[in-house]
């Protein structure tokens, strides 16, 4: 079990990619804090983990507010133990695709930056000091293929926020490395989460599949396995890496 005895906090893990990461980490022996805003969805994920013999703690917090994050961290540490692994997964799109930069309203821009980049920064800010003090820890952030390959389907503020997450992750890797803390980012392409299953019409999927050299769309489990690698001792000498989990799509121009 790659994470036996570890405590992991995964933000945005009540569904989709985060839920897959929490479930896999628990199956690998970690005690997991499952974070989200939908308490019913949190209960489903935690119940699934418990039924498989794992241990999960449902937690809520506004990841754009440091005081909320500090309170959540304190609860996790009190009930599960000090945090060994942080997956800063919470985020999402806050503006429409196919918008020109000059058509994006200020509120949409700020919501996208805060909900992705600021949320990741504040989550790391809360957890990193303890990791540095213990001289051990692994931080995994979630970027996107959109950060380096803007397309009409990727809202500009979202892509910019994800690009910022990548640079932030590498800055943390540089600064926290001497304290034994690693930081890496995962950049997925199209992942068939519950939302995408509902939102992407069946007629669009064949052309999307053809744009990926591996000729399929990604699953939450694809991202979860990459996160497990970064979180585990298998990646003990790996830090500052941006890993494309994209089926080769970033190779296509």
- Each domain of the chain, given as residue ranges in start order, spans 7-251
Q: What's the mean pLDDT in 9-21?
A: 97
Which residue has better confidence, 137 or 204? 137
pLDDT of residue 252: 61
Structure tokens at 222: 């694809």
Q: What's the mean pLDDT in 192-202?
A: 79
User: What does pTM read for this prediction?
Assistant: 0.94
Residue 140 has pLDDT above 90, yes or no: yes
Residue percentage of the chain with pLDDT more than 70:
99
Query: What's the CA dihedral at 41, 123, 54, 26 to 10 degrees?
Result: 110
Residue among 25, 109, 121, 158 flagged as catalytic: 158
Residue 205, burial from CB neighbour count under 10 angstroms (0-12, 13-18, 19+): middle
CA angle 24, 70, 175 (to 5 degrees): 75
Which residue has better confidence, 171 or 189? 171
43-57, 63-77, 80-94, 172-186: the lowest-pLDDT one = 80-94
Average pLDDT, the chain: 93
Residue 196 has pLDDT above 80, yes or no: no
Sheet with strand 85-88: strands edge to edge: 55-59, 31-35, 7-10, 85-88, 137-142, 181-188, 242-245
Annotation marks residue 158 as catalytic: yes
pLDDT of residue 31: 98
Q: Encode pLDDT of 147-181 as tens digits.
A: 987 777 778 999 999 999 999 999 999 999 999 99
Q: What's the mean pLDDT in 188-192?
A: 86
Q: Spell 92-112 as b/e; 16+ CB within 10 A means b.
A: ebbbeeeeeeeebeeebbebb
pLDDT of residue 253: 56
- Domain 7-251 is of which CATH architecture? 3-Layer(aba) Sandwich (3.40)
């Amino acid at each position: 079990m790659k994470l036996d005895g570890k405590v992991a906090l995964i933000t945005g893990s009540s569904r989709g990619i985060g839920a897959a990461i929490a479930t896999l980490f628990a199956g690998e022996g970690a005690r997991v804090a499952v974070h989200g805003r939908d308490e019913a969805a949190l209960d489903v994920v935690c119940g699934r983990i418990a039924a498989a013999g794992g241990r999960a703690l449902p937690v809520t917090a506004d990841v754009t507010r440091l005081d909320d994050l500090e309170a959540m961290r304190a609860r996790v540490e009190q009930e599960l133990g000090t945090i060994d692994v942080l997956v800063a997964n919470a985020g999402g799109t806050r503006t429409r695709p196919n918008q020109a930069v000059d058509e994006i309203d200020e509120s949409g821009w700020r919501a996208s930056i805060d909900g992705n980049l600021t949320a990741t920064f504040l989550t790391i800010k809360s957890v990193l000091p303890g990791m540095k003090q213990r001289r051990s820890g692994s931080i995994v952030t979630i970027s996107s293929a959109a950060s380096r390959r803007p397309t009409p389907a990727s809202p500009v503020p979202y892509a910019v926020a994800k690009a910022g997450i990548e640079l932030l992750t590498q800055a943390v890797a540089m600064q926290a490395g001497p304290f034994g803390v690693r930081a890496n980012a995962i950049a997925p392409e199209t992942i068939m989460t519950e939302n995408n299953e509902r939102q992407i019409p069946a007629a669009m999927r064949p052309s999307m599949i053809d744009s990926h050299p591996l000729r399929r769309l990604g699953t939450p489990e694809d991202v979860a396995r990459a996160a497990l690698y970064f979180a585990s001792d298998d990646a003990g000498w790996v830090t500052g890496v941006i890993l494309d989990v994209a089926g080769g799509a970033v190779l296509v121009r």
